[in-house]
Amino acid sequence: MIRTYKCRVKLSRAGHERLGDIFAMSAELYNAGLESRIDCYRKTGENRSLYDQYKELVQVRAELPEFEAVSSIVFRGVLSRLDKAYKSFFRRVKAKEKAGFPRFKSRRRWRTIEINDQCWRMLKREGNKLVLKVKGLPRIEVKPSRELPSDSMLKAIRITRKPARREVALSYELPTPEVKSVSNPVGIDMGISNRLTLSNGETVEKREIDRKKLIRLQRSVSRKVKGSNNRRKAVSLLAKEWQRVSDKERDYLHRLTSEIARMYDFIAVEKLRTKNMLRDGDLAKSIQEQTWGRFIMLLNEKAESAGVKMVGVNPKGTSQECSSCGATVKKDLSVRTHKCDCGYEADRDVNAAINILHRGLASIAGGNVTAWPEGLERSKGLPLLGQEQCMEVST
């Protein structure tokens, strides 16, 4: 499995300027490669391959000294990115989706340098420091926030320009751990009133972004003249504030998903179609704030690293179905309590989380709702775990 470690970097002022030049050259090469592909198709009806453009890169480096001074691996990453964009375009056309033809890139908007070849040669240790050395790039001191794998192969390096800083992402290939046996499972219902509701009754409070400073900065941008230096400064301040909000959310989700993966050995979640849900104008903003997609992505990574089985289930009817007797109890979204004729009464989201867990366990039992994994029984509308095992999470 591939795991990525994001690290902050230390750069000199000259290093920042040099890195900016490399970003600009990458955008220039990307645009030239895109133009070459478009011209080739217009004249011959055929597309240029990635290897054709690798050959053209050799000629470009021979004619332009500034490109010759930088490692060819850096610019190969640019052309590989263009090739991926083209392949994704044709895949979407074939699938009859919204195609989105690759666009030309502005020098200011190019933010990433990708290195996917011979990475292990470029990251070196100098005493207590980790230093990234690539031909043509400035000396980049890498500062990881946690220990990096010492016995694993470095597969990719990505240098990213963010509004407030520069980051280096190091991707390692790690061995996949064995999957644990199921003895302590949990089902998770994602919502708006509570961000998460677990099948044992525990909840995670919904996320609410404090937008006061964001609104003030956005208004400042709107007042500035387009194209002016003052507008660029205001846009930069707004971008830095959004990055601060995003970093805070990312850190919280990492801690939350790590805690869930440590506490449970089987996790069942909903397969939500968020794009369809965002069509509801009244709920779209609240849904986006909860970042369900990012939560699921990180939880899947943490579960895989911990050897925890994680499955996604169809959420249809989980709020209407009684987790005790299986009967369907119709209710509107405004009704927050589940009451069944069998006598079972519970919070609507807790009932849904238990149903999600039941469906997840049934999926690993071959779809047979009576054939649970050894040592587990179907919950009769009661929490599967005791309160002493409950997770306490606060935002």
* Tens-digit pLDDT profile for residues 129-151: 899 999 999 999 999 888 888 88
> Does any domain span residue 222?
no
> Does any domain span residue 107?
yes
Q: For 30-48, what is each residue's pLDDT tens digit? A: 999 999 999 998 998 888 8
* Three-state helix/strand/coil letters over 86-142: HHHHHHHHHCCCCCCCCCCCCHHHCCEEEECCCHHHCEEEECCEEEECCCCCCCEEE
Given 119, 148, 173, the domain boundary residue is 173
DSSP label of 316: T
Nearest to 122 by CA among 102, 105, 106, 139: 139
Q: For 282-330, what is each residue's pLDDT tens digit? A: 777 888 888 888 899 999 999 998 899 999 888 888 888 888 888 888 8
Given 129, 151, 173, the domain boundary residue is 173
Same-domain check for residues 93 and 155: yes
Same-domain check for residues 197 and 125: no
Please give the pLDDT value at position 290: 83
Please give the pLDDT value at position 374: 46
Q: Cα–Cα distance between 182 and 127 in angstroms, integer?
A: 45
Same-domain check for residues 37 and 123: yes
Same-domain check for residues 282 and 380: yes
Distances (CA, A) of 212 to 57, 209, 283: 48, 9, 20
194: CATH? 3.30.420
pTM for the whole structure:
0.80
Same-domain check for residues 156 and 258: no
Q: Cα–Cα distance between 99 and 93 in angstroms, integer?
A: 5
Same-domain check for residues 153 and 190: no
Same-domain check for residues 167 and 196: no
Q: What are phi and psi of 360, to 5 degrees?
A: -65, -45
Same-domain check for residues 146 and 293: no
β 2-10/166-173 pair status: antiparallel
Please give the pLDDT value at position 386: 32
> Does any domain span residue 216?
no
> Does any domain span residue 329?
yes
Nearest to 270 by CA among 205, 303, 319: 319
Band (385; pLDDT cuts 50, 70, 90): very low
Average pLDDT of span 95-105: 90
> Does any domain span residue 229?
no
In contact, 391 and 202? CB cutoff 8 Å: yes
Please give the pLDDT value at position 383: 36
Asked if residue 214 has pLDDT above 90, the reply is: yes
Nearest to 359 by CA among 317, 306, 390: 317
In contact, 367 and 218? CB cutoff 8 Å: no
Same-domain check for residues 193 and 149: no
Same-domain check for residues 308 and 166: no
Band (363; pLDDT cuts 50, 70, 90): confident
Distances (CA, A) of 386 to 189, 300, 358, 389: 19, 25, 17, 6
Band (367; pLDDT cuts 50, 70, 90): low
Same-domain check for residues 310 and 370: yes
Same-domain check for residues 249 and 275: yes
Please give the pLDDT value at position 158: 93
> Does any domain span residue 212?
no
Please give the pLDDT value at position 87: 92
Average pLDDT of span 105-133: 88
Distances (CA, A) of 133 to 136, 146, 162, 182, 392: 9, 21, 20, 46, 44
Number of domains in the chain: 2
C-alpha dihedral sign at 17, 22, 23, 27: positive
Asked if residue 121 has pLDDT above 80, the reply is: yes
Q: Cα–Cα distance between 121 and 74 in angstroms, integer?
A: 14
Calculate the average pLDDT of the chain.
85
Given 173, 197, 230, the domain boundary residue is 173
High-pLDDT (> 70) share of the chain, %: 92
Q: Which domain holds residue 117?
A: 2-173
Write the Ramachandran bin of 188: left for phi over 0, alpha for psi from -120 to 50, otherwise beta: beta
Would you call 248 helix, strand, or coil by DSSP?
helix
> Does any domain span residue 227?
no
Residue 178 has which token pair?
Answer: 């064995």
> Does any domain span residue 67?
yes
